[in-house]
Structure 1
């Protein structure tokens, strides 16, 4: 039986691992601090539009607390800025079979990168021989230890999965079929595109708005600013010759399975991943791998991306100084971007 080791059991990882466990599938959730302690003592509380359940889970703090076997699949679901540490922590963990060590996780196990942005797959290829990208469309929130909120319904989300680079042999096909079967049973839509990266680049464009939500959070209209960042990013990606799934194809796929719904007792203004990082005061955000990714591509290809580059700067400053969501108005943000 395939076992999924979810490295980073926050909003996305907790939702995937919790749903798998709730469906009776084998999952290990990797967490830390008070969140880990709560998972181990009382389980994971899953709150959805239709459920409020506490799921018993197997939770650990690191690879020294679990014996990996060839039947394991690693799923990295940290923030992208945390991925290098997660990958180096797990890549050299021993894999056991027949009472002996048969290799390392990087040599023997597949790793699925369920993160925003498009950088983590390349990070993982430095350490793992078999890397798969996961394009995550799932409105999930993690603010309280031991609790994850999933706001999508009737399906919890849509997770495109594919080998990176885009190549599939019999072993890949078998794994992808198994993942699709298990994750579908856990209430997700799981398409298997021939190339997952155009889907991840399309999701990257959508995630460019995360920083506007985090900085302004209803304190003015950021629509025109978001449109500027979006248009700049699309021009940069086109100029770099990068394939991006069309808006029409993305919308058709996403709307077929889930839409946002209210979760009883959860305020409507709860935000996305960057908002959650500023709210929790983590001291870092993933914007360098969202808006900053557009700046990187622009710099690599002789283009300019001043709006997205400046947004990455403002995000780093906000995280470093403990700025909370809504501390900046839309007009102030426009001024700092030179767009007023």
Structure 2
């Protein structure tokens, strides 16, 4: 099905969604941000504040609280950029929304509209296929921060990040993917289109397994040996499952060619990643069940154990429920809890 995107509806306007939506808006593409709470209030009142190594701007991007405030058309593209633990509810919310054309309803979003899953982990794509017929996976390398309502910080340059795109299953939606990639490139992203996006997502999953360690101990907490043990266990599980993973050298070369980290004026350089940000904001939920927990799930399906990843997921889950802040425990305490 040929499809020329007209408007990007970005569901989850936090660090990733706000960065993607803000950059697309700057590139002249129609964008609507979907947010909630104080973040939505500030977006509506003041616009999106986008801070980068060389910018500090406010963007007048339309923002809504949900599908009841929009009339979807066949030329809309839905970009899901929530955390993975939130995406199932978001998919369910949007799947049955009516799509309008020529003054009439022509079908549902789930039947007609493409969805792009711009979030960590490897579970969102299979979730999305339960409700949507057209799914494109996105492997997200985007060093961005969302700690303050109405504000997103991008720390990468010269491009803002790297977003590999690929349909699920592979080989479909090629015209759509090419068009979206061109829009993202106009918005200062590197947007490769591999034959199969999932090996890239599994490689990114491995990189994200240390997120929970950073969230517990704090940025720069000296968890390198713990991370190596957790990642080593994960690689053994993925190998046993026969899951293809993009080689480290290929991934590192692609990322180095796309962007490097830069200082953003007024922003400390030791701000952590997505799970660190969730604990810092006190959201009460974290995505590690779909990162380290994904490794445990795969292992259990093989009749194996992945004790390091399972225990780490549990530690972060409990920390989130308690409202624990990053740095509340030491690397030695985490090592003991993991049995290392």
Residue 220 (structure 1) shift: 4.3
User: TM-score, normalised on structure 1?
Assistant: 0.98
Conservation of the 8 A alpha-carbon contact between 1:298 and 1:305? yes
List aligned pairs for 1:274-289, cutoff 5 A: 274-289=275-290
Aligned residue in 2 for 1:332 = 333
Structure 1 range deviating more: 205-214 or 159-168:
159-168
Aligned residue in 2 for 1:74 = 78
How far, CA to CA, are the matches of 2:166 and 2:180 in structure 1?
Answer: 10
Which ranges of structure 2 fall in alignment gaps of 5 or more residues?
none
Aligned residue in 2 for 1:62 = 66
User: TM-score, normalised on structure 2?
Assistant: 0.98
How far, CA to CA, are the matches of 1:281 and 1:31 in structure 2?
Answer: 17
Instruction: Output one character per residue of 1:89-136: Cα deviation in whole Å (capped at 9) or x when no partner.
Output: 100010000000000000000000001000000100000000110000
Aligned residue in 2 for 1:226 = 227
Conservation of the 8 A alpha-carbon contact between 2:219 and 2:272? no
Matched, 1:309 2:310: yes
Instruction: Specify whether residues 47 and 327 from structure 1 end up closer, same or farther in structure 2 by C-alpha distance, changes over 3 A only.
Output: same
Give the one of 8, 15, 18 matched to 1:14.
Answer: 18
Conservation of the 8 A alpha-carbon contact between 1:69 and 1:95? yes
Instruction: Specify whether residues 219 and 18 from structure 1 end up closer, same or farther in structure 2 by C-alpha distance, changes over 3 A only.
Output: closer
Conservation of the 8 A alpha-carbon contact between 2:97 and 2:109? yes
Conservation of the 8 A alpha-carbon contact between 1:219 and 1:328? no
How far, CA to CA, are the matches of 2:164 and 2:156 in structure 1?
Answer: 16
Aligned residue in 2 for 1:255 = 256
Give the one of 46, 61, 68 matched to 2:50.
Answer: 46
Instruction: Specify whether residues 271 and 20 from structure 1 end up closer, same or farther in structure 2 by C-alpha distance, changes over 3 A only.
Output: same
Residue-pair matches, total: 336
Aligned residue in 1 for 2:241 = 240
How far, CA to CA, are the matches of 1:174 and 1:316 in structure 2?
Answer: 40
Conservation of the 8 A alpha-carbon contact between 2:17 and 2:82? yes
How far, CA to CA, are the matches of 1:218 and 1:126 in structure 2?
Answer: 37
Cα RMSD after superposing both structures: 0.8
Aligned residue in 1 for 2:138 = 134
How far, CA to CA, are the matches of 1:199 and 1:11 in structure 2?
Answer: 21
How far, CA to CA, are the matches of 2:315 and 2:67 in structure 1?
Answer: 35
Matched, 1:104 2:117: no
Aligned residue in 2 for 1:271 = 272
- Where 2:334 maps in the other structure, the secondary structure is helix
Aligned residue in 2 for 1:216 = 217
Conservation of the 8 A alpha-carbon contact between 2:214 and 2:221? no
Conservation of the 8 A alpha-carbon contact between 1:220 and 1:331? no
- Where 1:326 maps in the other structure, the secondary structure is coil
Instruction: Output one character per residue of 1:120-175: Cα deviation in whole Å (capped at 9) or x when no partner.
Output: 0010000000011000000000010110000000100000000011132xxx1110
- Where 2:131 maps in the other structure, the secondary structure is coil
Which ranges of structure 1 fall in alignment gaps of 5 or more residues?
none
Instruction: Output one character per residue of 1:158-215: Cα deviation in whole Å (capped at 9) or x when no partner.
Output: 00000011132xxx11101110111100000000011000000000000001011110
Residue 218 (structure 1) shift: 4.6
List aligned pairs for 1:85-100, cutoff 5 A: 85-100=89-104
Aligned residue in 2 for 1:176 = 177
Residue 257 (structure 1) shift: 1.3
